[in-house]
Amino acid sequence: MNSSTQDNSNAAANPPNIKAAANAVDAYKPAIKLERRADEPSSDIKSFRANEPQLYEEKTTVPSPPSRLIFIGDIHGCVEYFNKLLETVEFKQGSDQVVLVGDLVAKGPDSLGVVNKARSIGAWGTRGNHDDRVVRWGDFLQGPGKGLSESDLESLQSSGDLPYDDFEIGGDHYDIASTMPACDFSYLARFPTMIVLPPPYNEWVVAHGGIVPTTPIAQQNPDDVMTMRNIGPDGPSSKKDAGEAWFDVWAEKIGPLGGNSTSVESSSSDTTSKDDEQTNRKRQISSPSLDTIQFKKVIYGHDAGRDLQIHEFTKGLDSRCVYGGKLTAFILPGEQLVSVDCGKDYTSGDSDQRRRRDMMLRRAQTLRSNARRRRKERRESSRRSAGQKHK
């Protein structure tokens, strides 16, 4: 397996139409969504909403102190290459701090192994869109979906009564959520959508998809932060044919400042509507208070279609590992890039079938283990009841 180290490079000149997108984003007012669907629920199950991710987390200190911050792109279940990259950068636990840009899970062969490894080394992370679907599935299976059989869930899917449109029985996200150990699930569920880094790295912020320029941190939309690739006239979009790449728009907004930090304030205007005020109050319950953040550079993932994107103000680290590309680390201080070859496309037909078969076997083992535990609990309960009757 080969590893490569690259120098940082500046972004190419922006095409003229990026200015139009940059101007449009000034007028964009994000609709902060605490619920992802506005339709009226037809049942308790259909109306279920998972716990929203914390919008951002402000890291006030780094471990005492780290020799390096090591940011790693989308892993997507490829634990073999995750381990290989840690070896290649000579990661030292207790000294270095790993920061994951999201999408630890799905598509690859061992999502559970990735999450367990990340937790074991104390990695920080932001929630990716695939992580988010796993967490929503897990919340549902621990809530109103608890005790439902797979055939029950398939019936709900057929009738359109599952709580989210992107829920699929037998898909990666369901399989991962239904087999992930509780300690690893709790760890993944705590990932915020953004991490604001502490001094001396407080000009950097980490997200999975991207951040809307000029919009205060506390007013960003979590779904947009996890999924955006472009910014168009209607705001952020996951589609690459809508407007311009968000990182080009970011450079258009930050570049003219000559590298000076941008002030991003969390205060709301006097014209905020009553509904907006109520929504903002709800948001503040799960997000820390932060009046002003100074940052100008973003580290992100998500955009495998564009591959590695290293520009002056933004560092895009999704280098297509699960598709047979590379897994990339960006290291501070020094802005060094290190990558390892992944070499295998786990989304191709044969690989995908093997991965699904392995996941089904793990799920069957988990179901058998749970059944044994329930039988043991019933036997112990029966013995206790019988002992009380004889007293």
Chunked into runs of 10 residues, the chain (391 residues) has average pLDDT values of: 47 54 58 40 76 92 79 97 98 94 96 97 97 97 92 91 91 94 97 92 94 86 95 88 90 64 38 39 35 73 94 95 97 96 85 55 55 60 65 58
Q: Residue 264's pLDDT is what?
A: 41
Residue 354 has which token pair? Answer: 């093997």
Place of tokens 């207790």: 94
Q: Which of 188, 64, 57, 205 is nearest to 133 (CA)?
A: 188
- Cα–Cα distance between 86 and 92 in angstroms, integer? 9
pLDDT of residue 170: 83
Q: Peptide bond preceding 30: is omega within 30 degrees of 0, i.e. cis?
A: no
The confidence score (pLDDT) of residue 25 equals 60
pLDDT score for 321: 97
H or E element at residue 340: strand 336-341
- State the pLDDT at residue 313: 93
DSSP 242-302: SSEEHHHHHHHHHGGGTTPPEEEE----TT--HHHHHHHHHHHHHS---SEEEE-EEEE--
- pLDDT number for residue 247: 94
| Tokens found for residue 222 | 């979590």
Between β-strands 194-196 and 56-58, what pairing exists: parallel, antiparallel or unpaired? parallel
Q: Which residue has the tokens 């970011």?
A: 250
* Residue 32: predicted pLDDT: 42
Dist CA 238 CA 304 (whole Å): 12
Is residue 224 within 8 A of residue 317, CB to CB? The reply is no
Which of 53, 58, 61, 25 lies closest to 266, judged by CA?
58
For residue 253 the two structure tokens come to 């907004």
Per-residue model confidence (pLDDT) at position 282: 33
| Pair of tokens at residue 11 | 């972004």
Q: Which residue has the tokens 């055939």?
A: 151
Closest CA to 345 of 108, 57, 68: 108
Q: How buried is residue 193: exposed, middle or buried, by Cβ count under 10 Å (0-12/13-18/19+)? A: buried
How far, in Å, are 94, 167, 298, 353 from residue 65 at the CA level? 9, 42, 22, 44
Q: Measured in Å, how far apart are the chain's first and last C-alpha atoms? A: 68
Q: What pLDDT score was predicted for residue 213?
A: 85
Q: Tell the CATH topology of 3-344.
A: Purple Acid Phosphatase; chain A, domain 2 (3.60.21)
Q: Where are the domains of the chain?
A: 3-344, 348-391
For residue 225, the model assigns a pLDDT of: 96
**pTM confidence score:** 0.75
